[in-house]
Chains A and B, each alone.
Chain A
Amino acid sequence: MSGAGDTLLQAEDLRVTFPTRTGAVEAVRGVSFSLGRERLGIVGESGSGKSQTGRAIMGLTPPHARVTAAKLAFDGIDLLALPAAKRRALRGKRIAMILQDPKYSLDPVMTIGRQIVEALRAHESVSRTEARERALEMLAAVQIRDPGRVFDLHPHEVSGGMGQRAMIAMMLIAGPELLIADEPTSALDVTVQLDVLAILDRLVAERGMGLIFISHDLRLVSSFCDRAVVMYAGKVVEQVPASELRNAQHPYTRGLLDCMPRIGADRHPLPVLERKAEWAA
């Protein structure tokens, strides 16, 4: 069920600024939202700041950038005030992140099994045999049919969908409470996307995790998530329950919904999004 109970994450006036040769660029400009044990979708186009928001929560913003917030708390812990070592301890153990393309996010020279085992042993002291057992269990949990064989394969030897499932296994094995998924299915074929999402869906529900789903795909977010946050130019322009997305109020969201071609809806020409300067103000 959505929302109820403890607030896992609270962000208030989150800002991420990058210094560049031509002045400071604010990628995220005052984003606020809270997350319980539910699925929150952050939707936006490129340059909206959605990825940087996810990375700021994880603490993975590039070191030369500045992250500030009135409040950025995970389970009551102030993330920005934490020393680096404690932040690192949280990462993976309690907050995990899945990235877009397993080709680039999995270590190409290590076998899949070894990476999962390493992820587990970084957070729990278990024997190598036990770690291997749990890794195999996890691979089976993400519906990889022959876990023993895949355990010894390298990332380039498996398909995109399988690689992404391996990444999910690797990130969930330590049992985190919050998962941030940054465009987890964008690099996959359309039929494979559904399979991977179903696995994610089941695991998140079973473990009662909170999920932040970052995507450019409004349709996907409206069908997969409980709530949606729409971002434009570093700001949140709309926060709405996913089922209500169709009746969104903000002209940007409406424009975005309308401009996508849909099977059965024959609109020639497609309505084009007219960007207004005040949305970015």
Chain B
Amino acid sequence: MPVSTAARLSRREWLLSERPASRMQARLGRAYVTWRRFSANRLAMVGLFIIVALLLVAAFAGQLATHSPIVGDLKNARLLPPSAQYWFGTDDLGRDIYSRIVHGSRLTLFVVVLVAVIAAPIGLVVGTVAGYAGGLVDAVLMRVTDIFLAFPKLILALAFVAALGPGIENAVLAIAITSWPPYARIARAETLTVRNSDYIKAVELMGASAFRIVLRHIMPLCLSSLIVRVTLDMAGIILTAAGLGFLGLGAQPPLPEWGAMIASGRRFILDQWWVAGAPGFAILIVSLGFNLLGDGLRDALDPRSGEQ
């Protein structure tokens, strides 16, 4: 559609057009409809707001922090309560807790994004291949998945970290390795649902290779459930990372990882509650944000959510 005509129609009309004139218009139109569905859900928007805030805080951590996150004033500023100078108080090494939380948001994002980027594709590939191939391939892949699923997540992560050594990169790897099995299960379930549908048969009847069918026809169908599940899992991933940090096996000092902050603040919880309380609260808010976002995505992406 020529630009002048597009400018004459409002952008909304263009997106919702019944006769899209290009691939781009169709895709954008579809994304727009999904966005409308999502934004109609207030709680989902709250979740989105929280996550966007997290991203902004992480991006502008340098500007938003008031003090250094790793160098503290040992002489004067140990364990001070929240005040105008130290917004969330200070910890036992005189470091400003607010600044540590702000910088710690980067670590949280780092963990969450990396785990998602590693675990989700592995789960997707394993699940779709198992579901499409069936037979022996399916059995073998699913038994491997079962083995990983049999261990409680934290225990398995602990084992990996113990083997690989402490540190935040290894913690990420460990968590990723334990996170992919549910995604494989979801992908496999979706694949089995669509495996025998006529549109897959139609593509088989054109002579498409199994590789092409799985990659270009089946995987796109699994994406929305997977996205929802990954988003909902992010809260759990943060908590697992926090747990590992708490045990001293995740981020190492002086990194301001929120779980490690709670661990070191544990000793002071009765009299100087803010040392553990502030990072705990941050984890709470971000987990809540991911949960709300995930729920909202599920309702928006799943067209079967009962509207006439």
Contact = CB atoms under 8 A, between A and B. Distances in A.
Best-buried of A18, A19, A21, A25 by chain B (most CB within 10 Å): A21
A166 B308 CA distance: 31
A203 B142 CA distance: 55
Contacts of A62: 308
B271 interface: no
Interface in A18-34: 18-21, 25
A18 B308 CA distance: 8
Interface string A54-82: 00000000101100000000000000000
A28 to B, nearest CB: 14
A49 to B, nearest CB: 14
Nearest to B40: A21
Contacts of A64: 308
Nearest to A65: B308
Contacts of A20: 307-308
Nearest to A25: B308
B16 to A, nearest CB: 10
B268 to A, nearest CB: 53
Interface in A75-102: none
A156 to B, nearest CB: 19
A37 to B, nearest CB: 35
Contacts of B308: 18-20, 25, 62, 64-65
A62 B307 CA distance: 12
Interface in B265-308: 307-308
A20 B37 CA distance: 13
Nearest to A27: B308
A19 B307 CA distance: 10
A126 B156 CA distance: 61
A74 to B, nearest CB: 27
A162 B277 CA distance: 67
B287 to A, nearest CB: 31
B302 to A, nearest CB: 15
A65 B308 CA distance: 10
Contacts of A21: 307
A21 B36 CA distance: 11
A20 B306 CA distance: 11
Nearest to B36: A21
B168 to A, nearest CB: 45
B38 to A, nearest CB: 13
Contacts of B307: 20-21
A19 B308 CA distance: 8
A48 B153 CA distance: 55
Contacts of A25: 308
Nearest to B33: A21
A200 to B, nearest CB: 31
A52 to B, nearest CB: 11
Interface in B90-146: none
Nearest to A21: B307
Contacts of A19: 308
B305 to A, nearest CB: 12
A65 B307 CA distance: 12
Contacts of A65: 308
A63 B307 CA distance: 13
Nearest to A18: B308
A22 to B, nearest CB: 10
A18 B306 CA distance: 13
B30 to A, nearest CB: 15
Interface string A3-23: 000000000000000111100
Interface in A139-155: none
A21 to B, nearest CB: 6
A121 B307 CA distance: 35
Interface in A170-184: none
A57 to B, nearest CB: 20
A62 B306 CA distance: 12
Interface string B199-220: 0000000000000000000000
B148 to A, nearest CB: 35
A10 to B, nearest CB: 28
Contacts of A18: 308
B172 to A, nearest CB: 41
A208 to B, nearest CB: 38
B163 to A, nearest CB: 49
Nearest to A20: B308
A64 B306 CA distance: 12
B144 to A, nearest CB: 35
B69 to A, nearest CB: 47
A50 to B, nearest CB: 17
A192 to B, nearest CB: 25
A244 to B, nearest CB: 37
In the A-B complex, the 4 residue pairs with the closest CB atoms: A18-B308, A20-B308, A21-B307, A20-B307
Interface of A: 18-21, 25, 62, 64-65
9 contacts: A18-B308, A19-B308, A20-B307, A20-B308, A21-B307, A25-B308, A62-B308, A64-B308, A65-B308
Given A20-B308, A62-B308, 7 more contacts: A18-B308, A19-B308, A20-B307, A21-B307, A25-B308, A64-B308, A65-B308
